[in-house]
A and B are shown apart, each in its own frame.
Chain A
Amino acid sequence: MTRTAAKSPERTAATVRFIDAVRTRVATVVVGQDVVVERLLIALFTGGHILLQGVPGIAKTLLAAVLSRAIDLQFARVQFTIDLLPSDILGSEILDQRTNTFQVYQGPIFTNLLLTDEINRAAPKVQGALLEAMQERKVTIGKQTYKLPAPFLVIATQNPIEQAGTFELPEAQLDRFMLCHRLAYLPAEQEKEVLRRNLQLGVRREDNGAIARTEFDVIQNEPVGSKDDLVQAMEAVHDVHVSETFLDHVIEILCRTRNHPAIALGCSPRAGIALIKSARARALIHGREYVVPEDLFMLSEDCLMHRMRLNYEALADGRTVKSVLEELLTDLGAPRSAATRNGELFAAKATSATAAATTTADTAS
Chain B
Amino acid sequence: MNHFAKRLPLLLLLATLPAQTTANEAPQPVPAATQNNAPIRTTIGMPKEILELVLPGSELEALPATSASNVIVRIDDVRPHGTAHRYALTFTGLQAGSYDLRDFLQHKDHTPLSETPKIPIQIDSILPKEQTQPNALKSTAPTPLGGYATTMLVLACSWLLLLCVILFVGRKRKRNATLATQQQTLAERLLPLVLAAQQGQLQRERLAELEWLLLSVWRTRLGLEQRTAAEAIQVMREHKEAGALLRQLEQWLHAPSSSSSTDVEALLRPYAALPAPNEPGGPL
Contacts and interface: CB of A to CB of B under 8 A. Distances in A.
Contacts of A252: 208
A243 B229 contact: no
A297 B230 contact: yes
Interface residues of A, number: 37
A291 interface: yes
Contacts of A5: 256-257
A329 B215 CA distance: 11
B213 A333 contact: yes
Contacts of B181: 335, 337-338
A245 B175 contact: no
Interface residues of B, number: 30
Contact of A330 (B182, B229, B250): B229
A248 interface: yes
B204 A244 contact: yes
B216 A333 contact: yes
Nearest to B231: A297
A68 B207 CA distance: 42
A248 B229 contact: no
Given A245-B253, A297-B233, A360 B178 contact: no
A291 B9 CA distance: 90
Given A333-B209, A335-B182, A338-B182, A243 B253 contact: yes
B237 A360 contact: no
B256 A2 contact: yes
Contact of B256 (A241, A326, A332, A334): A241
Contact of B254 (A243, A330, A341): A243
A342 interface: yes
Interface string A276-308: 000000000000011111100110110000000
B183 to A, nearest CB: 10
Contact of A2 (B175, B178, B257): B257
Given A245-B207, A330-B229, A333-B215, A291 B256 contact: no
A350 interface: no
A293 B233 contact: yes
A293 B236 CA distance: 12
Contacts of A356: 225-226
B211 to A, nearest CB: 6
Contacts of B213: 333
Contact of B226 (A293, A335, A341, A357): A357
Contact of B178 (A246, A249, A297, A337): A337
Most buried by B among A243, A330, A360: A243
A5 B255 CA distance: 10
A246 B229 contact: no
A53 B111 CA distance: 108
Given A245-B211, A248-B207, A297-B233, A326 B228 contact: yes
B168 interface: no
A101 to B, nearest CB: 57
A8 B215 CA distance: 31
Interface in A102-154: none
B21 interface: no
A345 B178 contact: yes
B254 A332 contact: no
B205 interface: yes
A89 interface: no
A328 B207 CA distance: 19
A301 B230 contact: yes
A297 B229 contact: yes
A259 B143 CA distance: 57
Interface in A167-184: none
A294 B246 CA distance: 11
Given A329-B229, A333-B212, A360-B226, A342 B254 contact: no
13 contacts: A244-B204, A245-B208, A290-B256, A293-B215, A330-B225, A332-B212, A332-B229, A333-B211, A335-B181, A337-B178, A341-B178, A342-B178, A345-B175
Q: Which 6 A-B pairs have the closest CB atoms?
A: A333-B212, A248-B208, A329-B229, A241-B256, A243-B254, A292-B250
Given A297-B230, A335-B181, 4 more contacts: A245-B204, A245-B207, A297-B229, A342-B178
